[in-house]
Structure 1
Amino acid sequence: MCTAKKPKVEPMPNPPPPQTVITEDTAAITERSRERRRAASKQGRQSTILAGDTAASGAAPTTQSKVVLGA
């Protein structure tokens, strides 16, 4: 019987250390958060079925009236 020897395998080198975390500018973080809030509120307005008169001057209506959007 012939017994074959297993080949020697060199150990794997250690992986490189993780890259350092790049800190973001606080102004950029604030602007990104503001943009996300703006987009989320815009999406909420678009999906509303009933809403008050939006064609007015932007002031709160004095009476409660609802208009069906998309009609």
Structure 2
Amino acid sequence: MNALVDQLRQKLAQQDARISSLERNNSYLLRRLGEVYNRLDSFESDTEETENITEKVKAEIRCSKTGEDRTDQGDERGKD
């Protein structure tokens, strides 16, 4: 009977060690996932900022082209 109790204790100790290992691994993975989430959030913010800047530049280019077109049309009218 004592041998069975010892085997059971040994198995329980092994299971406890496995559970502890899994908990450590889980904790590590959750920390890493948090870091990845933060980096993705930062990347998303940077991307939005870049898109905003790009849209502003495009708008300025359109405005300057419209101004150039108006100037060119005025020059052509003056030639007639």
Structure having the higher Rg: 2
TM-score by length of 1: 0.37
Using CA pairs below 8 Å that are at least 6 residues apart, which structure has the higher relative contact order? 1
Instruction: Compare the two structures and name the one with the higher helix fraction.
Output: 2
Structure with greater strand share of residues: 1
